[in-house]
C-alpha cells in the first residue's frame, strides 16, 4: 500500500524499552504540525522486536541498556557499521564473560551466559532488519530523516543513517539526543560523514528552524548547538573539538503537548503475545534543583545543561488530563530528574481533586516527609525512583547526596505503608569509602528485608559531565578512559573513542581496590532479595493495644504486644527522632514529664528486639503501620503458627475479628 509523502521522518531505534514513546520526537511532531509541516515518528524499536523476538527485545531494552559495563545494545549494531573479524567478535564475547564473572557485575544482570546467548541470537537479524527500515523510509519519500539517540541507541541510529544516505543521497540526516551532547556530537560528525548534522542540547527551537531551512533549500542559519557536516572545522589533535550546546528552553509552558498518535498506532498493531503494556512519557521540569548545591558527584543525567526549570502546576495538570482523555492510557512516567518540591501543595491537591485515575511515576530525592508522600499518593503518584544509593552517612557525604541513612530507611518504610512502589539503586566503589562502611551496611540489611530491595546493585562508573569526570583530581580518580567495550564498537583511536564515549572506567589514586572488601555487602543484598517475599514486619493498632508481627529471618519475637507507654514510644519513633525531641514529644502526648530511665530501657528493649534502629543519637521504628483490620492478603502472608501464638496470648479477638475478605 502506497503511503503518503512525508517530508520529515523522526526515527526511534533500538535498543530502548518497548513500552514508552519518544518524548523528544513526539514534541517535535507536535511543533512541526503547528508550523504546517507533516512528519511521522517511526518506532523501529518495535519493529526490531518482530525480528529479534519480543522476549529477547524486552531483555535487551529493560535489562541490558542499563548494563553500562557491557554496552551490549551498542555492540550488536556495530557490525552493521564496520567490518568485524570473527576473532574480534569472539574477543568481545569473552569480555562479556569476564564481566559476568566479576564481583562488580550487577545482581540484576540475568542468568550467567544470557548476554552472550542473546548477542549470538540477535546479531544475524540486524542486517535484514535495517534493510526493511530503509525500504519503509524510502516509501515515505522524505526530505529529512532525524534520529533521537539516547542510552544505547547510537550504533543503531548510525547504522541506519548510513544505509539511508546510500539509498537516498539527497535526504538530509540529523541526529540529536544525549549521545550527541558536547564532544560526542562533533565526534559523531567527524567519524560518520553520512550524518549531515547533529544537535547538541535541547532542540525545541533549533530543530524546527533546521527543518524549515532544509525544506526550503536554504542553508541553515548558524545556531548554538547545531553542528553541520558542511561547516565542520579541521580536527586539532591538540585540542578537544568545539562543542557548544543549544540555548536551553526557558519557558516549558510554551512547549506544545506531545503528539503520541504514531506510538499509539504502532503499539495497537503489536500482537497480544508481545506483552507490551504501553505507558506515556511527560515532563514537568528539566534539570535538577539539587545541582544548585553541587549535585550528586556521580550523576551525569543532565548533561552540560544543569539549569532548573519547572512547568506551572496548571499547565502540568492540563497536560496530564489531556493525555488521559486523548489516549486512554493512565500510566504516565515523568522524565523529570527530580520531583519539583514546589508541586507538593497546589499540584498534588489539585490533581487529587480531578480524580483522573492517572498512575504517575516520578524520580525524587529521598528527603520527602511522610505527609508529603501521602499527598503525592493521593494525587496518583504510585511509583517513585529515589536517589537512595547507600545506607552509610559517610558514603552519602562522599557522593554529595545531602541525605542521611535514617532518612533513606524511613522513606522505604513509609512508601511500603502508603503503597508507593519505591525503586532505588545500591552503588559501591565510591572514591574515599572504607571497608567499615560496607560491614555496617551488610549487618543492617538483615533488619530491612521486609522493605523494598534495590532495583540494582553495581559498582559506580564515571559518566561524562559528572563531577567525577569534570573534577576527577578532587576525588582521587585517575586514569579515566573509555569503557573497554567501546574498542569493539568504534574502531578508532582512543582519543576519538574518548570523544564519542559516555561511560568511562577509572583507577583509584593509591591503588585502592573496592572489590577486595565488597563481597559481604553483595552477599547480604543477595540474601535480602531471596527472603524479601517471606519477610514482614507490621504493626497493627487497635484501641487497646498494638500488635507487631515479625516474619523476618532476623526476628527475635514473632509477636509483640504493645500497650500504654511502650506503644506511645514506638509510635513516636515513626520518623527519625533524637532523644531530647522524643522526651518532649512523649511529655506532650502523655501530659506528664518523661522519665529518662524508663525511656532508655524501653528504647533498648526495641533495639534488642530488632524492631528499632538507633544511629548517631536518633531512633527509628522499623515496623510498617497497617490498618487495624487485616486484609485477606495480609493475613495469608502471616504464618498460621503466629496466629496460634496470638491465640495463646489471648489475642484471638484481634486476629479473628480483624480479618477482612477485602483484598488490597
pLDDT in tens, 278-309: 999 999 999 999 988 899 999 998 776 678 99
Distance CA 453, CA 451 (A): 6
Q: 437 or 248: whose pLDDT is higher? A: 437
DSSP classification of residue 254: G
Across 49-58, 95-104, 277-286, 511-520, the highest mean pLDDT is recorded for 277-286
CA 629 – CA 635 distance, rounded (Å): 10
| Cβ partners under 8 Å of residue 392, min gap 6 | 405, 433, 437, 438, 440, 441
Smallest CA-to-CA distance from 251 within 296, 202, 207 is with 202
- Which segment, 569-583, 620-634, 645-659, is predicted with the most confidence on average? 569-583
Amino acid 596: pLDDT: 80
Q: Is the dihedral of CA 580, 583, 587, 592 positive or negative?
A: negative
What 3-state class would DSSP assign to 176?
strand
Confidence of residue 637 (pLDDT cuts 50, 70, 90): low
pLDDT at residue 56, as a whole number:
82
Pairwise pLDDT comparison (106 vs 59), residue with the higher score = 59
Q: Tell me, what's the pLDDT at 266?
A: 95
Nearest to 161 by CA among 186, 182, 191, 183: 191
Q: How large is the angle between the packed helices 313-327 and 346-354, nearest 10 degrees?
A: 30
**Cell 543521497 -> residue:** 169
Q: Is the pLDDT of residue 226 over 90?
A: yes
Name the pLDDT band for 662 (thresholds 50, 70, 90): very low
What is the pLDDT averaged over residues 615-640? 74
Beta-strand (E) ranges in 87-143?
none
Average pLDDT (538-559) is 93
Angle between helices 346-354 and 370-378 (to 10 degrees): 30
Per the listing, cell 503494556 goes with: 277
User: What is the pLDDT at residue 652?
Assistant: 53
Percent of the chain with pLDDT over 70: 90
Q: What is the per-residue pLDDT for 660? A: 33
- Lowest average pLDDT, out of 221-230, 243-252, 518-527, goes to 243-252
The predicted structure's pLDDT at residue 105: 56
The string of pLDDT tens digits covering residues 526-547 is 999 999 999 999 999 888 899 9
Assess whether pLDDT exceeds 60 at residue 103. no
- Residues written for the chain: 664
DSSP one-letter code for 247: P
Within 338-491, strands assigned E span 359-364, 381-386, 421-423, 425-428, 456-459, 462-463, 477-482
Query: Lowest-confidence range among 58-67, 177-186, 276-285, 593-602?
Result: 58-67
pLDDT tier, 494 (very low <50, low <70, confident <90, very high otherwise):
very high
Segment 409-434 mean pLDDT:
96
Cβ distance 569 to 585 under 8 Å? Answer: no
Per-residue pLDDT tens over the stretch 310-319: 999 999 999 9
Q: Of residues 54 and 253, which shows the higher confidence score?
A: 253
Could you tell me whether strands 144-148 and 8-12 are parallel, antiparallel, or unpaired per DSSP bridges?
A: parallel
Q: Which residue has the higher pLDDT, 536 or 107?
A: 536
For residue 273, pLDDT beyond 90: no
- Of 305-314, 381-390, 491-500, the range with the lowest mean pLDDT is 305-314
**Segment 503-526 mean pLDDT:** 90
Grid coordinates of 521:
555487602
Closest alpha carbon to 74 in 123, 111, 108, 112: 123
**Confidence band (pLDDT; 50, 70, 90) for 139?**
very high
Q: What does the pLDDT read at residue 282?
A: 98
Radius of gyration of the chain (CA): 27
- This prediction has a pTM of 0.92
Percent with pLDDT over 90 in the chain: 73
Average of per-residue pLDDT values in the chain: 90
Mean pLDDT of the region 223-233: 88
Per-residue pLDDT tens over the stretch 434-487: 999 999 999 999 999 999 999 888 899 999 999 999 999 999 999 999 999 999
pLDDT at 274 over 90: no
Helix pair 126-139, 44-52: axis angle to 10 deg: 140
On the question of pLDDT at 3 being above 60, the answer is: yes
pLDDT value, residue 194: 98
Judged by average pLDDT, the poorest of 53-67, 313-327, 598-612 is 53-67
Amino acid at each position: 500500500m502506497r503511503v503518503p509523502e512525508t517530508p520529515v521522518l523522526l526515527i526511534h531505534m533500538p535498543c530502548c524499552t518497548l513500552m514508552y514513546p519518544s518524548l523528544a520526537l513526539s514534541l517535535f511532531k507536535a511543533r512541526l504540525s503547528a508550523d504546517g509541516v507533516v512528519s511521522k515518528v517511526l518506532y523501529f524499536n518495535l519493529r526490531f522486536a518482530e525480528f529479534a523476538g519480543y522476549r529477547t527485545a524486552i531483555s535487551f531494552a529493560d535489562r541490558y541498556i542499563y548494563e553500562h559495563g557491557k554496552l551490549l545494545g551498542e555492540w550488536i549494531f556495530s557490525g552493521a557499521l564496520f567490518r568485524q573479524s570473527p576473532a574480534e567478535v569472539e574477543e568481545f564475547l569473552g569480555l562479556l564473560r569476564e564481566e559476568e564473572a566479576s564481583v562488580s557485575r550487577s545482581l540484576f544482570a540475568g542468568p550467567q551466559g544470557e548476554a552472550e546467548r542473546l548477542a549470538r541470537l540477535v546479531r544475524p537479524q540486524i542486517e535484514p532488519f535495517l534493510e526493511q527500515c530503509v525500504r519503509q523510509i524510502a516509501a515515505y519519500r522524505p526530505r529529512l530523516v532525524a534520529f533521537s539517540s539516547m542510552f544505547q541507541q547510537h550504533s543503531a541510529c548510525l547504522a541506519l543513517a548510513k544505509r539511508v544516505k546510500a539509498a537516498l543521497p539527497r535526504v538530509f540526516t540529523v541526529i540529536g539526543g544525549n549521545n550527541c551532547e558536547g564532544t560526542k556530537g562533533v565526534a559523531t560528525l567527524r567519524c560518520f560523514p553520512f550524518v549531515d548534522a547533529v544537535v547538541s542540547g535541547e532542540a525545541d527551537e533549533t530543530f524546527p528552524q533546521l527543518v524549515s531551512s532544509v525544506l526550503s533549500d536554504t542553508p541553515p542559519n548558524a545556531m548554538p548547538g547545531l553542528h553541520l557536516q558542511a561547516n565542520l572545522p579541521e580536527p586539532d589533535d591538540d585540542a578537544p573539538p568545539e562543542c557548544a550546546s543549544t540555548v536551553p528552553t526557558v519557558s516549558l509552558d510554551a512547549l506544545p503537548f506531545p503528539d503520541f498518535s504514531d506510538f499509539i498506532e504502532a503499539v495497537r498493531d503489536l500482537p497480544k503475545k508481545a506483552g507490551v503494556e504501553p505507558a506515556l512519557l511527560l515532563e514537568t521540569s528539566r534539570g535538577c534543583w539539587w545541582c544548585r548545591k553541587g549535585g550528586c558527584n556521580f550523576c551525569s543525567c543532565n548533561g552540560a545543561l544543569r539549569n532548573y526549570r519547572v512547568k506551572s502546576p496548571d499547565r502540568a495538570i492540563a497536560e496530564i488530563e489531556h493525555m488521559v482523555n486523548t489516549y486512554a492510557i493512565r500510566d504516565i512516567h515523568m522524565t523529570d530528574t527530580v520531583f519539583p518540591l514546589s508541586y507538593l501543595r497546589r499540584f498534588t491537591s489539585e490533581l487529587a481533586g480531578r480524580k483522573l485515575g492517572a498512575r504517575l511515576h516520578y524520580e525524587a530525592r529521598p528527603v520527602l516527609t511522610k505527609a508529603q508522600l501521602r499527598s503525592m499518593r493521593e494525587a496518583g503518584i504510585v511509583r517513585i525512583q529515589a536517589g537512595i544509593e547507600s545506607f552509610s552517612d559517610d558514603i552519602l557525604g562522599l557522593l554529595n547526596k545531602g541525605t542521611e541513612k535514617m532518612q533513606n530507611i524511613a522513606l522505604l518504610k513509609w512508601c511500603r505503608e502508603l503503597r508507593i512502589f519505591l525503586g532505588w539503586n545500591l552503588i559501591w566503589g565510591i572514591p574515599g569509602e572504607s571497608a567499615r562502611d560496607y560491614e555496617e551496611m551488610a549487618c543492617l540489611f538483615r533488619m530491612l528485608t521486609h522493605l523494598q530491595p534495590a532495583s540494582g546493585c553495581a559498582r559506580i562508573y564515571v559518566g561524562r559531565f559528572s563531577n567525577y569526570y569534570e573534577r576527577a583530581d578532587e576525588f582521587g580518580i585517575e586514569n579515566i578512559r573509555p569503557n573497554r567495550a567501546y574498542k569493539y564498537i568504534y574502531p578508532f583511536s582512543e582519543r576519538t573513542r574518548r570523544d564519542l564515549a559516555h561511560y568511562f572506567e577509572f583507577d583509584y589514586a593509591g591503588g585502592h581496590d573496592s572489590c577486595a572488601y565488597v563481597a559481604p555487602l553483595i552477599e547480604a543484598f543477595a540474601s535480602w532479595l531471596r527472603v524479601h517475599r517471606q519477610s514482614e514486619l507490621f504493626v497493627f493498632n487497635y484501641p487497646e493495644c498494638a500488635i507487631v508481627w515479625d516474619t523476618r529471618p532476623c526476628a527475635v519475637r514473632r509477636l509483640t504486644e504493645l500497650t500504654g507507654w511502650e506503644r506511645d514510644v514506638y509510635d513516636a519513633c515513626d520518623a527519625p527522632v533524637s532523644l531530647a525531641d522524643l522526651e518532649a514529644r512523649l511529655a506532650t502526648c502523655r501530659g506528664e514529664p518523661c522519665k529518662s530511665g524508663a525511656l532508655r530501657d524501653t528504647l533498648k528493649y526495641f533495639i534488642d528486639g530488632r524492631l528499632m534502629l538507633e544511629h548517631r543519637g536518633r531512633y527509628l521504628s522499623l515496623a510498617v503501620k497497617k490498618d487495624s483490620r487485616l486484609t485477606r492478603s495480609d493475613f495469608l502472608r502471616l504464618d498460621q503458627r503466629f496466629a496460634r501464638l496470638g491465640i495463646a496470648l489471648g489475642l484471638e479477638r484481634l486476629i479473628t475479628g480483624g480479618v477482612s475478605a477485602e483484598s488490597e
